[in-house]
Structure 1
């Protein structure tokens, strides 16, 4: 029963990642010394997170702490397929989104024909 539950969760996760088009990575734990007890997940800032917890980083990643490592996914998509000669994409770290605007007039948005994560 436990294996079926694990496989079902893995399937849901793989489908949701494909649908969201997010860029994700998994960082497994590497104990400093064999047999060391792992008490949680340390993020890139050195902050300890409890197993099962989730957090958002300053770099717009959503991370989760598991007993075997940390999983992080980007929360934004990068615009592609716009007129790069006339327009520029600007990333807003506060909202974790891109805005594509005219280079000469940032008050005018440009059409975007695709996004990649």
Structure 2
């Protein structure tokens, strides 16, 4: 029982301290007609689509991105790194949630997602 409690405590702290991965792409000003001009959109680094200033979108790589005049910021939607002792964790790219399974056997669930 003590090992289970310790494992659950470590798991809870790990999830609480993991805020996910984020990155920022700064806007690139262009020299046009003798002036620096900031872009009026952001280009998604994953699919190269343009998104207007003020927009927010989800990528196919489980990221949420925001386009502002300060640039584009994208963060994971899965919530960072998850650990369950004795299990492997993978991000389901359909739901953008972690799924836990037995090491080497994706068909056998374990850990927090086990019912």
**Shared fold (TM-score, shorter chain, > 0.5):** yes
For 1:110, the equivalent position in structure 2 comes to 110
> How many angstroms apart in 2 are the aligned matches of 1:37 and 1:90?
39
- Backbone CA RMSD of aligned residues: 2.5
TM-score, length of structure 2 as denominator length: 0.65
Larger radius of gyration: 2
TM-score, length of structure 1 as denominator length: 0.64
> How many angstroms apart in 2 are the aligned matches of 1:36 and 1:96?
36
Note if 1:73 corresponds to 2:75: yes
Moved over 3 A (4+): 103-108
In 1, are the aligned partners of 2:23 and 2:73 still within 8 Å (CA)?
Answer: yes
Give ranges in structure 2 of 5+ residues lacking alignment: 1-15
In 2, are the aligned partners of 1:82 and 1:110 still within 8 Å (CA)?
Answer: no
> How many angstroms apart in 1 are the aligned matches of 2:59 and 2:24?
15
Give ranges in structure 1 of 5+ residues lacking alignment: 1-17, 113-117
